[in-house]
């Protein structure tokens, strides 16, 4: 009986740690975090820190770029879209980022238009998506085509 109790305690601690681990962005709980899989043949850009405050004393979280997010805070009274401070990172073809404690919030292709949420998006304009969503970008002709991973809710906000 003692072995069963010890094993149960270890399992309980593991589950608690999995869901209480610190995340790098707001709204990310343990392994349930936004992610991007770049299965296209072009490099894209991602951000895990939109609307951050510039802090010259914290180079790892330096917020020296701008992200023009077309679907920022879409509401009936406020409309959509906002240019925010952000930290931009590159995501090369064949690589993934996010999930498991790291929350990716938005993405774009800087050098080409791309498909997302059923529409062609302008290069350099960012698309924001839900925290629990994994976005997959694939090559479709001469454009990247991005959307939620099969089995997930829609990523457009």
Q: Judging by beta carbons within 10 Å of its beta carbon (0-12, 13-18, 19+), is residue 119 exposed, middle or buried? A: exposed
**Residue 127: is its pLDDT beyond 60?**
yes
| Domain range annotation of the chain | 2-148
CA torsion through residues 121, 126, 132, 138, sign: positive
How confident is the model at residue 122, as a pLDDT? Answer: 97
**Least confident piece of the model among 59-63, 78-82, 134-138, 152-156:** 152-156
Sorted by sequence, the CB contacts under 8 Å of residue 69 that are 6+ apart come out as 50, 81, 82, 83, 84, 106, 125, 126, 127, 128
**pTM, two decimal places:** 0.74
CA torsion through residues 108, 79, 32, 101, sign: positive
How confident is the model at residue 80, as a pLDDT? Answer: 83
């Amino acid at each position: 009986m003692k072995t069963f109790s010890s094993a149960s305690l270890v399992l309980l601690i593991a589950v608690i740690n999995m869901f209480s681990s610190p995340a790098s962005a707001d709204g990310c709980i343990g392994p349930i975090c936004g992610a991007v899989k770049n299965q296209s043949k072009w490099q894209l850009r991602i951000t895990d820190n939109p609307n951050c405050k510039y802090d010259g004393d914290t180079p790892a979280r330096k917020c020296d770029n701008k992200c023009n997010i077309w679907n920022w805070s879409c509401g009936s009274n406020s409309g959509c879209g906002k240019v925010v401070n952000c930290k931009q990172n590159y995501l090369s073809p064949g690589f993934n980022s996010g999930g498991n404690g790291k929350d990716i919030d938005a993405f774009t292709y800087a050098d080409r238009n791309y498909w997302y949420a059923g529409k062609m998006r302008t290069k350099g304009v960012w698309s924001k998506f839900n925290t629990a969503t994994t976005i997959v970008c694939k090559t479709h002709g001469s454009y990247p085509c991005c959307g939620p991973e099969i089995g997930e809710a829609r990523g457009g906000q």
